[in-house]
Amino acid sequence: MCSCREKKTPEQAVKDLESALGVRQYEPNLADISVAKIESITKLPIPSEAKILNLLNLHALDDVFLVKFELEMKRLDKFLANTAFKRRENLSSKRNYCSNFEDISWWNISKINTFLSGSYNRDDGKSNNILIDLANPQKAVVYLQTY
């Protein structure tokens, strides 16, 4: 008998959570979550100027952590420099990196038309997916998914 478990997609993790626990999601109070805690989960430095807009922690067989934050466009390149992507040119205009959770009103990324996105596997076996909404020339909205 194999002791390894199959890696679930974020969508499957949500379905597993719903069926196993009867609870869809846990949305902590933003005031109760520090930037340091977000950084420890995502393994990414969140710029001090960033405004955390929403976050969600889904607990199932595989945890899924979603955070949405706003950043001045002029700070975006500095943020990316501290990620595995390093710069905008290493991101894609393909939508297939971040999962769309239509039942989470603030995470309906299918409606975003001007964006960059990407994904990478971390050393700890988790993955970080990112989608950056570029529609506003002054503010970038970053959708970060860790699972």
Range of the domain at 111: 10-146
Domain membership flag for residue 4: no
95, part of any domain: yes
Question: How large is the average pLDDT for residues 118-140?
Answer: 93
Q: Is the pTM of this model over 0.95?
A: no
Q: How many domains does the chain have?
A: 1
Does 2 reside within a domain? no
Residue 60, in any domain of the structure:
yes
Residue 112 forms part of a structural domain: yes
- Mean pLDDT computed over every residue of the chain: 80
Residue 3 within a domain: no
Do strands 64-72 and 127-133 pair parallel, antiparallel, or not at all (unpaired)? Answer: unpaired
Q: Could you give the strand order of the β-sheet that contains 51-58, starting from the edge strand earlier in sequence?
A: 51-58, 64-72, 139-146, 127-133, 115-121
Q: Is residue 1 part of a domain?
A: no
Nearest alpha carbon to residue 50 among 112, 142, 144: 142
Q: What is the pLDDT of residues 24-63, one digit of tens each?
A: 444 555 556 788 888 888 999 998 889 999 888 876 556 7
In a domain? residue 72: yes
